[in-house]
Amino acid sequence: MSAGEVVKEIEGKVVELGGIVESITETAVFVEVPRERVRELADWLYNSGAFLKTCAGVDERSINSKFAVYHIFGLDEKGLDVVVKISGLEGEALPSIADAVPAAEWCELEARDMLGLHILGHEAKPRHVLPQDWPEGVYPLRKDLSYDYRPSGNAEKFSEELPREVGLPIGPYHPILHEPEYFELYVEGERVVDVFYRGFHVHRGIEKLAESQRFTYKTIPFLAERICGICGFVHSSCYVLAVERAARIEVPERAQFIRSIVLEIERIHSHLLWLGIAAHILGYDAGFMHMWRIREPIMLLAELLTGSRKTYGINIVGGVRRDMDESKKKRALDVLKNVREEYKKFVEVLTAVPEIVKRATGTGVLPKSDARALSVVGPTARGSGLKRDVRKDYPYFAYKHSSFKVPVYSEGDNMARLLVRVDEVFESISIVEQLLDALPKGPIAVESYEIPPLRKAVGTVEAPRGEDVHFIITGHGRPYRWRVRAPTYQNIPALKVMLRNTPLADAFLTIASIDPCFSCTDRAIVIRDVRSGSRRFVGLFEGRRYASR
């Protein structure tokens, strides 16, 4: 079935349910359905093989007096996004699709917290994204709340409930975690039986900030780059991709190539970083040191090409800001050749260390069915047998000009995810070499562009951790709504399945194997939250457990 026929089928189903098709672009279909029928549509899409990407709540009262929720599905084989909109007046109940599509639970809870939407089925669940002492009735993402509103904290609101088994608190302070999050592992002896997660300690209010007067289309790529310290360029690329799709801007080929090259370099550095961390977690510090030594030339290369080791700052709407001349190309190729050789030699040593092999195999298993239900992304999905890769499924930038394999392993344990990343480094090096050879001449940015307001678009980019989704509704001079769904956000619910029955010693490797980047995950709405600076370890035993699925 070709893409055109699929679109026709979707149109037919939507009309049958009483909805309308708003617009069709070459990458996405935007539909709106009456809210009572959304669950049927979600069910039908899910059973036809779509994955849920995310959902975004939007305060559209200034446009049509309603609140809206956009559910974004993706049909991998056709490279098509399907954006389903439902809307309701303030106070009206919106149905949840979480029982048909389990992956939707988190984003619906977030929409509930941030906008005060009444979503059926989620009323009893405690606060997901906002801290417990956030004042009632104050919804950060509503347009009538100023971006620099700061509530006063109230520590008494944190309720205490005694845990039933031995709760082992991991975080927010813990030597192995790089970012603050709170896991509570319920252990029996040395076996983990359950896990409770509470994150969002590092809310920085990026989405709301982008809507405020402080930022314009021009300056948001820099804001996006700082969502994450390791995959920042992915976020800024995804943002400009979404804006360019919304405004139908034609970006010059050379810029697309440069963006792809830098993205792959970021992937290489991120995977090398992760392999070092995985070795460190397992006690093999020599692996950590050597892997980062091998990674150092990549950081230098990034600095040579873009001007900065990490926050590259070369993306702008319509192109890139820095060019690559012949000497830089040649040096890049040399560096990559050396890195490939050293990396190959070292990976042989790393994967032969007996402790690493024994501890990573068979632990943290994520069965394929759970992976599908939770719509996990990235190496987490590819380690469990799902062949999902945005670079192949929804081609963007210059990837169609290169050929590469997507490594997939089906065991679903920590070792599989490790091997996926090991293979991906080799593939990325090869992609960069191909793209450098094929770099076309031309300008690196468009001269000028117009961004008409109230256009919607979805941008998806393959971050080192998985698929990153940005949903944009354009406004005047700055986005009307910008929703970021980082890959780790999608993968954390899978941790609950993976950590069950894992030995405690390997719980950390399991948590690390989804390559968590909590800065990415927690970026949502609340502005310069007082909470994000203070990391009080208050006993957050909420007694909330994810329902066993």
Partner 1 sequence: MQVDRISSPLKLLTIALKTGRVTKKYPFGPPLLTESFRGAISIDPAKCWGCGACVLVCPPNALTMRFEEERAVLEYFKGRCIFCGMCADVCPASAITVTKEFELAATNLEDLKEGVIHRLSTCAVCGKPFAPAAELRDVMKMHPIAEEYANICPECRKKRTAKAFGLSFGANI
Partner 2 sequence: MYDSIERKVKASIQSRVGPLGLVRSFLQSWFDLAKLLSKELVLTSYGIALITILELLFLAITVLTLQVFILAPQLQWIAALFLTFLSISSAFSLLRAVCLDNPFSSIGAFREFYITLAVEGFFLSSLAMMLLLEGSVMLRLPLFCIVALSCYVLSGRTPFDIAEAEPEIASGVYIELSGPLLAIATYSLHIKRYVLAEILSYALLKLIGITSTSFALLVVLLLTPITWIIFGVISVMLGRTRVDVGPITLLKVMLILMLFVFISMLLMVRQA
Residues annotated in a binding site for Fe cation: 231, 520
Q: Is 215 in the site for partner 1 (CB under 8 A)?
A: yes
d(CA 440, CA 261): 13
Q: If DSSP codes are grouped into helix, strand and coil, which group holds residue 476?
A: coil
Residue 164 burial (C-beta neighbours within 10 Å; 0-12, 13-18, 19+): exposed
Ranges within 478-517 binding partner 1 (CB under 8 A):
none
Select from 14-22, 210-218, 223-231, 351-359 the region that touches partner 2 (CB under 8 A). 351-359
**Of 237 and 510, which has the nearer Cβ to partner 2?**
510
Q: Site mask, partner 2, residues 484-503, x = CB under 8 A?
A: -------------------x
Annotated binding site: 207, 228, 231, 484, 517, 520
Q: Is 365 in the site for partner 2 (CB under 8 A)?
A: no
Select from 219-227, 416-424, 485-493, 515-523 the region that touches partner 1 (CB under 8 A). 219-227
d(CA 298, CA 412): 29
Q: Is 299 in the site for partner 2 (CB under 8 A)?
A: no
Among 307, 395, 443, 543, the residue binding partner 1 under the rule CB under 8 A is 307
**Of 7 and 353, which has the nearer Cβ to partner 1?**
353
Tokens encoding 202 = 């590092």
Give me the DSSP letters along 493-525.
HHHHHHHTT-BHHHHHHHHHHT---HHHHT-SS
Residue 263 burial (C-beta neighbours within 10 Å; 0-12, 13-18, 19+): buried
Select from 82-90, 278-286, 301-309, 432-440 the region that touches partner 2 (CB under 8 A). 278-286
Q: Is 353 in the site for partner 2 (CB under 8 A)?
A: yes
Distance (Å) of CA 458 to CA 27, 82, 114, 129: 8, 9, 21, 23
For residues 312 and 225, the answer to whether their CB atoms sit within 8 Å is yes
Q: If DSSP codes are grouped into helix, strand and coil, which group holds residue 191?
A: strand
Q: Site mask, partner 1, residues 309-348, x = CB under 8 A?
A: --x-x-------xx----------------------xx-x
Tokens encoding 152 = 């006063």
d(CA 394, CA 388): 10
User: 310-327: string of b/e by CB count within 10 Å (b at 16+)?
Assistant: bbbbbbbbbbbbeebeee
Tokens encoding 310 = 């990490």
Select from 327-335, 352-360, 380-388, 540-548 the region that touches partner 2 (CB under 8 A). 352-360
Query: Quick one: what does residue 303 bind among partner 1, partner 2, none, with the CB cut-off 5 to 8 Å set by partner type?
Result: partner 1
Among 508, 518, 519, 541, the residue binding partner 2 under the rule CB under 8 A is 508
Residues in the chain: 549
Query: Quick one: what does residue 505 bind among partner 1, partner 2, none, with the CB cut-off 5 to 8 Å set by partner type?
Result: partner 2
Q: Is 29 in the site for partner 2 (CB under 8 A)?
A: no
Q: Is 125 in the site for partner 2 (CB under 8 A)?
A: no
Q: Which residues contact 122 (CB under 8 A, 6 or more apart)?
A: 96, 98, 105, 108, 109, 112
Distance, first Cα to last Cα, the chain:
33
Among 306, 363, 460, 502, the residue binding partner 1 under the rule CB under 8 A is 306
Ranges within 341-400 binding partner 1 (CB under 8 A):
345-346, 348-349, 352-354
d(CA 229, CA 224): 11
Q: Is 287 in the site for partner 2 (CB under 8 A)?
A: yes
Shortest reach from residue 190's CB to partner 2, in Å: 6
Q: Is 166 in the site for partner 2 (CB under 8 A)?
A: yes
Q: Is 341 in the site for partner 2 (CB under 8 A)?
A: no
In DSSP terms, which residues pair with 170 in a beta bridge? 183
Q: Is 304 in the site for partner 1 (CB under 8 A)?
A: yes
Q: Is 186 in the site for partner 2 (CB under 8 A)?
A: no
How many residues interact with partner 2 (rule CB under 8 A)?
A: 31
**Of 192 and 451, which has the nearer Cβ to partner 1?**
451
Tokens encoding 223 = 């804001």
Shortest reach from residue 187's CB to partner 2, in Å: 8
For residues 55 and 104, the answer to whether their CB atoms sit within 8 Å is yes
**Of 189 and 354, which has the nearer Cβ to partner 1?**
354
Distance (Å) of CA 374 to CA 106, 121, 386, 490: 10, 18, 12, 8
Q: Is 352 in the site for partner 2 (CB under 8 A)?
A: no
DSSP 284: -
Shortest reach from residue 352's CB to partner 1, in Å: 3
Number of alpha carbons in the 13 Å side-chain half-sphere of residue 257: 21
For residues 177 and 185, the answer to whether their CB atoms sit within 8 Å is no
Strands 456-463, 466-474: pairing is: antiparallel
How many residues interact with partner 1 (rule CB under 8 A)?
A: 29
Footprint of partner 2 on this chain (CB under 8 A)?
166-169, 174-176, 190, 279-287, 289-290, 293, 353-356, 358-359, 503-506, 508
Q: Which residues bind partner 1 (CB under 8 A)?
A: 214-215, 218-219, 222-223, 226, 286, 290, 293, 296, 300, 303-308, 311, 313, 321-322, 345-346, 348-349, 352-354
